[in-house]
Amino acid sequence: MTQLIVALDEPDYGHARVVVERTAPAVEWYKVGYEAYYGYGDLILTLLREAGKQIFLDLKLHDIPNTVTAAVRASARSGATLLTVHAGGGATMLSAAVAAKTAGLRIIAVTVLTSLTAEDLRSVGIASDPKDQALRLALLARNCGIDGVVCAVEDAARIRRECGPGFAIVCPGVRPPGAPAGDQRRVATPADAALAGADFIVVGRPVTKSDDPGAAARAIVDQLRLS
């Protein structure tokens, strides 16, 4: 079954802790991204470890191979189960990340951000359609030994067909029906993501900004179970 990852992109530790406390009965996975990691990383990582939760450390590493190697080794000590790198870093960097990981840590490569359109890609010199670019990067990542990718829901089914059942697919840009898209351009519902073959969906604001984060998370989990 597709699993929900709640994104703890909150400005302060106090609110992030409340979100974890209220959603913990329904949620196993939590994403720690830039805001949480750089703002209160030690606190939130300790909370999640002590609660027995699975940590998705979304740092999108993208640097020279030696630097990424060091970052992967350091990140492994956080207790994370999933760690992101950018597929655009190239084959040597991706292979270095794989070589540096420890048992229990999976490396997931970001393909094309869900905020990007074809026009955005052209503006940085990429002529490919977002779907074609996402598949190209997914295949590169798989061939380097990367464990899976982050991609838009609309890219997931094609990547699943080409990369096989053991390749993890994480889909952000997921919104319950009727929820605002925010700054995401390519969005989909939890049911859409499950049908496309996503292993995980990442949901932030529809849960964390809800008046009842626990109920919001349970509703999404129920949708995934029925899909």
Catalytic residues: 60
What is the rounded CA–CA span in Å between residue 38 and residue 46? 14
Contacts of 22 (CB under 8 A, 6+ apart): 212, 213, 214, 217
Residue 173 near residue 126 (C-beta atoms within 8 A): no
C-alpha angle 93-5-27 in degrees, rounded to nearest 5: 145
- For residue 49, give the nearest of 93, 81, 15, 3 by alpha carbon: 81
Helix (H) or strand (E) holding 150: strand 148-150
86: helix, strand or coil: strand
Amino acid in position 102: T
What is the rounded CA–CA span in Å between residue 58 and residue 200? 13
Max intra-chain CA distance, the chain: 46
